Homo-oligomer: A and B are copies of this chain.
Amino acid sequence: MSASAERPTPVRQGRPGYNQETVLRRAIDLFNAQGYDATSVGDLAKELGLTKSAIYHHVPSKETLLAAALDEALDGLSAAIDKVVTSEPGLSAHERLRIAVQESVLVLADHLPAVTLLLRVRGNSGVERAALERRRVIDEKLATLVQAAVDEGSLRDDIAPDVISRLLFGMVNSLVEWYRPEGPVHADEMARSVAGLAFDGLTKAPPAPSVAPGALDS
């Protein structure tokens, strides 16, 4: 299901220096900075130094831009999770879940403005409600993966699986508040850190024994 029944048609060249893709990027930044509802097409035109009619040359409506942004985030997240769930038959649920966490961080880093916008959607319109429905489907797949890992005995069972799922992806999603992939921590490293914290915990592991267990028998 798409957040928009009608996606913007591929890039159309308008005024030199602007194409639909540029307009979309700037619109997403503006929606994130001042809120989607509070942003008018006039605001976007002003931001881009264009007239409103020049904006309408690129995109039919503000909602088309929102739908394109939400689809970008949702397509990335769906593809990552579907790949993890369906491919590589030899993997345990624990391994799949760990990869799903890492892949989610990578998608978030690759599509940070679009994912930020997605996480702020509250369902104020048909486009927003369709996006929330797609998010719910993704969350359900992740919750199923958590349950599978609990069932195979590889995940702690003293926390309810749905609570694990929400805390885990709550931590992943909280990255939008502060993480910037162009900063000192590369997205791959961040993905490993998030998964490391979540699966192995923050407490330092005791040092490996210097004597192998079997050595005591001799």
The smallest C-beta distance from A157 to any residue of chain B, in angstroms, reads 7
B158 near A196 with CB under 8 A, answer yes
Cβ-defined partner of A193 (8 Å) among B38, B163, B199, B203: B163
Against B, the Cβ 8 Å flags (1 = close, 0 = not) of A96-131 are 000000000000000000000000000000000000
Tell yes or no: A153 within 8 A of B by CB. Answer: yes
Residues of B within 8 A of A64 (CB): none
Interface residues of A in 166-194 (CB under 8 A from B): 166-168, 170-171, 173-175, 177-179, 185, 190, 193-194
Against B, the Cβ 8 Å flags (1 = close, 0 = not) of A150-165 are 0001111111100110
Tell yes or no: A41 within 8 A of B by CB. Answer: no
A197 near B167 with CB under 8 A, answer yes
A196 near B38 with CB under 8 A, answer no
Instruction: Tell me the bound Cα distance from A199 to B198 in angstroms.
Output: 9
Which 4 pairs, one residue from A and one from B, show the smallest C-beta to C-beta distance?
A: A170-B174, A201-B201, A171-B171, A200-B201
